[in-house]
Amino acid sequence: MSMTFSACKIKTRAVLDLIRIMKPYGTLLLLMPTLWSLVIAAAGTPSIKLLVIFILGSFVMRSAGCVINDIADRNFDGHVDRTRSRPLPSGRLSVFEAAIVFGLLLIAATWLVLQLNRSAQLLSLFGIGLAILYPFSKRVVHVPQMVMGIAFGWGSIMAWASVRDSIEPPIIMIFLANLFWAMAYDTIYALMDREDDIRIGVKSSAILFGRHTWLAVGILFALSSCFFILLGVTAKLGPMYYLSIGAATVWFFVQTGAIRRPLDRQNIFSLFKSNVAVGLLVLLGLVLNYRLL
């Protein structure tokens, strides 16, 4: 009995590691544009039901994305220092066990989607496809960060459709602002594994841009700021929103300057994670925009 309990405990821990339960920054980065969309679409007062659905949905889909990513990369992760201890390359979980976890997460995601309107349900089909496609894009696309950015922004389109049952100019601005922001911060993230990725043949924007990565990241951040400003114009947002975008843009420049010089893996990772604060800052600006009207 004790051995069975111990084995169950080990497997449970492996599953929690598989879905990155102790690394919530990915879920938060996925959630941010979705919350921006809900707040603007509902003029500052999104329903509790939709907030719960999309918060849970972000956790479930990010977890599913991690699982399918690890299944796709199982033959690569063992050759990279940062990922060799993950459940699949370390042998703590089998591919079959990981596939079961993925299936259960998709069932949970489907149940959540069924609580939404027809427009959001139809949009979700493409979102699931993106989650599955992204890990494999690293084999063929030199900028897989673009695929990731599209996947991370798709929830915002679903959220808008859930409130407005349509696609309008503000959600296009949210999607594009998030796309360029996600490409920038994920390129920073890719700097941690650039040498390993070159060695094992995985593609990334950090490899493509090489010594000009800092410039590419700066351009992506600048494009993101431009679309944030256009969002303010199309959604008729006020000073508190623009103040938050100004602060976010300052931090974009700080990050760009930081990666011009050599950084160790821990500093790169800290820069990447700091973008969670950027997303929260934009969200705060939106909430205050409607609260102070």
pLDDT, one tens digit for every residue, the chain (293 residues): 444 877 788 899 999 999 999 999 999 999 999 999 999 999 999 999 999 999 999 999 999 999 999 999 888 888 777 888 899 999 999 999 999 999 999 999 999 999 999 999 999 999 889 888 888 888 888 999 999 999 999 999 999 999 999 999 999 999 999 999 999 999 999 999 898 888 888 889 999 999 999 999 999 999 999 999 999 999 999 999 999 999 999 999 999 999 999 999 999 999 999 999 999 999 999 999 998 86
Has residue 8 been placed in a domain? no
First to last CA, the chain: 62
The encoded tokens of residue 255 equal: 């990050």
Has residue 143 been placed in a domain? yes
pLDDT of residue 75: 85
pLDDT of residue 56: 98
Has residue 265 been placed in a domain? yes
pLDDT of residue 81: 78
The DSSP letter of residue 164 is H
> What burial class does residue 230 get, using C-beta atoms within 10 Å of its C-beta: 0-12 exposed, 13-18 middle, 19+ buried?
middle
The DSSP letter of residue 24 is T
Has residue 114 been placed in a domain? yes
pLDDT of residue 240: 97
User: Looking at the 3D structure of the chain, how many domains does it have?
Assistant: 1
pLDDT of residue 293: 64
Has residue 9 been placed in a domain? no
pLDDT of residue 139: 83
Return the CATH number at 89: 1.10.357.140
